[in-house]
């Protein structure tokens, strides 16, 4: 049985929730069967999504939908052409050796893995009521994000009793479950609660990009905007030169 899960749950959350249904002897063997010996449950970019869909979801989802809804893939491809996005999607879904280089390149250019996982307490409570367990959410795992976009709460990233970060045991525990180190249900945050208009604007942009609703990031639109800005600047420049003969003469000499 494949459990139901939120529309923005991370692939690692879905994997762990499916493992709990008892289809694999252990999470270790499930990861090995899905991703290979060097596999990693944390597939932020949808690496080997085709294999995940086949071995864990039993082909229940379209691979493109899986990557677009349950990974950071839409965010990283919001700044490239549609042709490049399709090529990357296909390569990442298959997960050959070349895509490992692509993943490393993307991480090197700012799409780094989050050092710890984060959760919103209210999202967790809602998930438990609706789906039977909490889930890690894609938006919450983006490094710059510190607040839940839905509830406005500061994200929690560690056990409140022993200060163990969630990433230490995230392949064994879903949000809302007791800390396997000390058994506590309490969580806390090491994140700054400072905010600003700039942070709010960036968070909204990232949220829209994850939904594929940030057209201003499209390279063709950015190019057109830049061209219009250059044209406007040139117009302003020539208008000023008409009223500034010395400047016009200096340009003519050069």
Per residue in 71-85, pLDDT (tens digit) is: 999 988 888 888 988
pLDDT exceeds 50 at position 254? no
pLDDT at 146 over 90: yes
* Whole-structure pTM value: 0.82
Residue 157, pLDDT > 90, answer: yes
Q: Which tens digit of pLDDT belongs to each residue from 21-66? A: 876 778 888 888 887 755 555 578 888 899 999 989 989 999 999 9
Question: SS3 for the chain, per residue?
Answer: CCCCCCCCECHHHHHHHHHCCCCCCCHHHHHHHHHCCCCCCCCCCCCCHHHHHHHCCCCCCCHHHHHHHHCCHHHHCCCCCHHHHHHHHHHHHHCCHHHHHHHHHHHHCCCCCCCCCCECHHHHHHHHHHHCCCCCECHHHCCCCCECCCCCCECECEECCCCCEHHHCCCCCCCCCCCCCCCCCCEECCCCCCCCHHHHHHHHHHHHHHCCCCHHHCHHHHHHHHHHHHHHHHHHHHHHHHCCHHHHHHHHHC
């Amino acid at each position: 049985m494949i459990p139901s899960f939120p529309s923005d749950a991370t692939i690692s959350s879905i994997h762990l929730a499916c493992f709990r249904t008892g289809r694999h002897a252990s999470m270790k063997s499930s990861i090995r069967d899905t991703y290979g010996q060097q596999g990693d449950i944390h597939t932020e970019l949808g690496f080997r999504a085709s294999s995940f869909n086949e071995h864990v979801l039993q082909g229940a989802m379209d691979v493109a939908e899986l990557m677009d809804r349950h990974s950071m893939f839409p965010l990283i491809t919001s700044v490239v052409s549609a042709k490049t996005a399709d090529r990357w999607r296909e390569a990442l879904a298959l997960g050959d050796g070349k895509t490992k280089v692509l993943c490393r390149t993307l991480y090197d250019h700012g799409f780094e893995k989050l050092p710890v996982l984060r959760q919103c307490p209210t999202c967790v409570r809602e998930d438990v009521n609706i789906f039977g367990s909490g889930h890690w959410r894609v938006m919450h795992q983006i490094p710059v994000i510190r607040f839940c976009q839905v509830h406005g709460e500061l994200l929690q990233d560690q056990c409140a009793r022993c200060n163990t970060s969630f990433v230490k045991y995230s392949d064994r525990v879903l949000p809302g479950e007791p800390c396997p180190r000390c058994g506590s249900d309490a969580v806390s945050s090491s994140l700054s609660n400072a905010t600003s208009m700039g942070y709010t604007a960036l968070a909204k942009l990232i949220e829209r990009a994850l939904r594929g609703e940030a057209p201003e990031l499209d390279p063709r639109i950015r190019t057109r905007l830049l061209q219009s800005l250059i044209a406007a600047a040139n117009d302003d420049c020539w208008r000023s030169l008409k009223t500034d003969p010395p400047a016009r003469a200096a340009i003519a000499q050069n």
